[in-house]
Structure 1
Amino acid sequence: MTVIASVVMSLLCAIAAIFVLITVRGTAERYKTEQIAATAARIAYQVKRDRIAPVLLDETDADVQVIDPHGRIVSRSAAILTRPRMAAFRPVESSPQASKILCHSLAFPGRCMIVVAFRIEQPDGLWTIYAADDEVPWHVGAPLPAAILTGSALLIGLTAVGTYETVRKALAPVDAITDKLADITATDLSQRVPVPKFRDEIRRLAETANQTLNRAEMAVERQRRFASDASHDLRSPLTAMRTEIEEALLHPAQADWPARGQALLDSLDRLQALVTDLLQLARLDAGAPPKLERVDLGELAAHELDRRQRKVDVVRDLGGGAVVVGDRLALARLLNNLLDNGERHAVSTLKVTAYAKAGEGVLEVVDDGAGVPPDKRELVFQRFTRLDAARSKDAGGTGLGLPIARQIAQSSGGTLTIEDSPKGARFVLRLPLAPGDGHVH
């Protein structure tokens, strides 16, 4: 930025210098021409009064030649006493005066001169007075280029220093943000980058960086809690299995090996369910693209209910028209998680309903159990969360079924919530209807 600003200022100074030189030179040239013309007019006055001498000793402002009607030089300045006629042009009839810049005059070899011709009428004819002086040089005078160069150098220097300091101060917050980001590690995400006081792009950068750090810290914290909860839940079936085996080995003759084997299988089932749920969560967290297809929620629910071993009575109300776009396997997993949860908490009956309403496909799973208090309805969708009632009724749940179900619903562009019900818990899945399916139930 400093180099660019300096180059631009240099170009501006060069343009300004050329403009100043041209303007001052033009002004100086006009002024000098007027001085030469004034000298010629004064000599013309002397000619009119017949007071002209053959040699003009007092003319120092310009070199003068007086030409009679026959073209003879009748008077001249002492400095050009022996030189030939300096010019041949004459003023036009409409003007008594004319001026030219001559660079090839025989009277001034190797010099460019401003020559003014002044015409006067005498009884014997037209007389011409020529007055000449050196042309104004392009630099006008030595002090002018020196002043321009000095001023330009000062301007360019001030521009460079000012630009450098301005950019340095403007980017100082970026350096501070960079240094702070370099200090932040994955083990300590509590630090935040400094936010500048001015509301500009760098402040937005700092605020965005802090928001990103907030999300990263929350994500890392969730991962830590998840790892802690997962290790605890995985350790429980392993501990139970080890206990069963150690007790049997202490008294192998008295051990009921079939019962021990069944207990080990139960623990293995729980362990397998946990691992399956953890793998499903890992796939969902990775954001793997789903295999999209048209799915009829009613047909999907009927198919899944037909192949399940029912632990409670199931009431179906699976109307048509609830056709959505989603991953069939993922939606089947979502439904089975809701059915597993409903069967664990239902007293005797589970109701499954599917219908279309207001551009959405809706699937409801309602049990006749104790239900979920309103203040705990979001809590049950957190990972490894099981309410006290659930723990006392059934210790076989992993605490991941409902979080997985909600994450599948959200990845499919829908929602999964717990809504009011006269009795028990009412889980409601809402997904956008597939294009072309706008039936209303």
Structure 2
Amino acid sequence: MFRGKAWPLRARMTLLTCSAMAATCLAAGILVLGGIRNEVVSYERHRTEKVAHSVLHQLERGRLRQPLDSPHGILVQVVDARGRVVASVPELAGRPPMAAFQPAEDTSMQARTLCPPRGVDRCMDVLALRAYDQPGGDWMIYAADDAVPWYTSGVLVAFLIAISLALLLLTAIGTARTVDRTLAPVEAIRAELAEITASDTGRRVPVPKTRDEIRLLAETVNATLARLDASLTQMRRFTSDASHDLRTPIAAARAQVEEALLYPEETDWPVMAIEVLHSLDRLQAIVTDLLELAALDAGAKQPIETVDLAALVTNELDRRPRRVPVTTSLASGVTVLGEPLRLSRLLTNLLDNAERHAVSEVRVTVRTEDRTAVLEVLDDGSGIPPEHRELVFQRFTRLDTARNRDSGGTGLGLPIARQTAQAHGGTLDVEDSPKGARLVLRLPLHTPSGD
């Protein structure tokens, strides 16, 4: 299901959120450790200063104890002006001064971290306190406490690690469950799509109740499936109608030939040949229309030229006489850019349609209208009801009245005409008229350069 080394989305999202949580925990741990260490250092410094001032108080009152007390494990030494240890806690008895630094002249106290102080085997924070006006000069009181490590306390570090691991675990579980719940509708959509086949396009994917992007996805998929279902239904209807319309002339020709073979002496062979030829002509018309529709559907292009609509109408009317008179009103200079053969085929289809339904007359008009070239074909037949004006542009569609009167049409002429108009950036519609059917073609008007 997954190509290469791609991870599932749940694993990637879990890894991403856990990485973010780990980074957050690390930053928070550093801040917590830093804050707690500063507090501990401040507390221990204050405690050391308090011990050093207690010894200074004893020295100033002449009541310096020997050995000195060692509260809280703080190491204390009193060093005279000549650098000799005058008093110390028992742990430093007989040892040299732990430090040699002194506070600056303008201050009485200074602290440093020594690793280690002399006579000691560990790092300590050493505080130097100056005692003024002592015998021989200023004396120094050194008080040292264990240095606070960067991690402050192993217990604290272990606690922070445990909290971080617990948060990472909760984040991983929460992310995995959230992704699972989020992707559950997507999985349902995928499973339903996997089961839909060409023979079962009426099914739809489930739409989640939540109003989010996944709901929009499901609605879009359903809309696409609906369009696909409609297209497949139209294709099946088209195939069925095409098969029926192709079979009809073939069956008619076959019946005529079989009857002639059964009764050869009674058959008028020239008449029978003409009837078979009529069936073949109808078959050829249907095949030609089908090929034209296939070319239009495939977007096949033909040479583009400047076409004069008035000349196009005149040439078509001169080419073949019509069953009913055709009157024209042709404005000159109405030109369009297009494929001459297809535009001629469009006009032929409109004229053939009008001729089949006209009672006594067909009118053809060419004019301009707001930078648009207009070609109008009007017959005086029964017309097309408003509710059927779009239906006639569907393939193999014939109205009931047309089926009774019209055996010559293929049901593809008007669909081909509209699709040709649309391919030229125009429209073909049935519009209102006092009597009969009025088909109006509108194309972008083209003005040749230099005019």
Match of 2:444 in 1: 432
C-alpha distance in structure 2 between counterparts of 1:377 and 1:63, whole Å: 107
Matched ranges for 1:404-423 at <5 A: 404-423=416-435
Relative to the length of structure 1, the TM-score reads 0.94
**Is 2:273 aligned against 1:261?**
yes
| SS of 1:55 mapped into structure 2 | coil
Shift of 1:218: 0.6
C-alpha distance in structure 1 between counterparts of 2:134 and 2:96, whole Å: 26
Match of 1:312 in 2: 324
Match of 1:342 in 2: 354
Alpha-carbon displacement from aligned partner over 1:377-431 (angstroms, at most 9, x marks no partner): 3332222222344334331111111121112222322221122223322211112
Indicate if the aligned counterparts of 1:343 and 1:350 stay in contact, CA closer than 8 A: yes
Q: 1:114 aligns with which of 113, 122, 125?
A: 125
Match of 2:197 in 1: 185
Matched ranges for 1:344-363 at <5 A: 344-363=356-375
Distance 1:28 1:57, change over 3 A: closer
C-alpha distance in structure 1 between counterparts of 2:204 and 2:428, whole Å: 35
Matched ranges for 1:37-436 at <5 A: 37-109=49-121, 111-124=122-135, 125-289=137-301, 291-434=303-446
Indicate if the aligned counterparts of 2:114 and 2:123 stay in contact, CA closer than 8 A: yes
Indicate if the aligned counterparts of 2:83 and 2:97 stay in contact, CA closer than 8 A: no
Distance 1:368 1:59, change over 3 A: closer
Shift of 1:57: 4.9
Relative to the length of structure 2, the TM-score reads 0.92
Distance 1:367 1:57, change over 3 A: closer
Alpha-carbon displacement from aligned partner over 1:345-395 (angstroms, at most 9, x marks no partner): 223322211111012110011123332333333332222222344334331
Distance 1:140 1:436, change over 3 A: farther
| SS of 1:92 mapped into structure 2 | coil
Indicate if the aligned counterparts of 1:59 and 1:77 stay in contact, CA closer than 8 A: no
C-alpha distance in structure 1 between counterparts of 2:70 and 2:359, whole Å: 135
Shift of 1:174: 0.3
Shift of 1:285: 2.7
Distance 1:161 1:248, change over 3 A: same
| SS of 1:228 mapped into structure 2 | helix
Indicate if the aligned counterparts of 2:70 and 2:76 stay in contact, CA closer than 8 A: no
C-alpha distance in structure 1 between counterparts of 2:70 and 2:360, whole Å: 136
Shift of 1:52: 1.0
C-alpha distance in structure 1 between counterparts of 2:406 and 2:145, whole Å: 118
Q: Which amino acid aligns with 1:342?
A: A
C-alpha distance in structure 2 between counterparts of 1:248 and 1:327, whole Å: 45
Indicate if the aligned counterparts of 1:311 and 1:343 stay in contact, CA closer than 8 A: yes
C-alpha distance in structure 2 between counterparts of 1:20 and 1:114, whole Å: 22
Identity of aligned residues (%): 52
C-alpha distance in structure 1 between counterparts of 2:381 and 2:70, whole Å: 130
Shift of 1:436: 7.5
Alpha-carbon displacement from aligned partner over 1:1-22 (angstroms, at most 9, x marks no partner): 0011111111111111122112
C-alpha distance in structure 1 between counterparts of 2:102 and 2:351, whole Å: 118
My pick for the range that moved more, 126-135 or 411-420, is 411-420
| SS of 1:56 mapped into structure 2 | coil
Q: Which amino acid aligns with 2:108?
A: P
Q: Which amino acid aligns with 1:266?
A: H
Aligned residues: 437
Q: Which amino acid aligns with 1:116?
A: L
My pick for the range that moved more, 265-274 or 245-254, is 245-254
Indicate if the aligned counterparts of 2:18 and 2:171 stay in contact, CA closer than 8 A: yes
Gaps of 5+ in 2: 1-12
Indicate if the aligned counterparts of 2:127 and 2:142 stay in contact, CA closer than 8 A: yes
Indicate if the aligned counterparts of 2:380 and 2:436 stay in contact, CA closer than 8 A: yes
Shift of 1:280: 1.6
Shift of 1:283: 2.2
Shift of 1:104: 4.4
Q: Which amino acid aligns with 1:121?
A: Y
Alpha-carbon displacement from aligned partner over 1:59-107 (angstroms, at most 9, x marks no partner): 5531111111222211111101122111112222332211111114322
| SS of 2:73 mapped into structure 1 | coil
**Is 2:18 aligned against 1:9?**
no
Indicate if the aligned counterparts of 1:372 and 1:424 stay in contact, CA closer than 8 A: yes
Q: Which amino acid aligns with 1:127?
A: W
| SS of 2:266 mapped into structure 1 | coil
My pick for the range that moved more, 363-372 or 207-216, is 363-372
- Aligned CA-pair RMSD: 1.9
Indicate if the aligned counterparts of 1:181 and 1:193 stay in contact, CA closer than 8 A: yes
| SS of 1:88 mapped into structure 2 | coil
| SS of 1:119 mapped into structure 2 | strand
Gaps of 5+ in 1: none
C-alpha distance in structure 1 between counterparts of 2:316 and 2:270, whole Å: 32
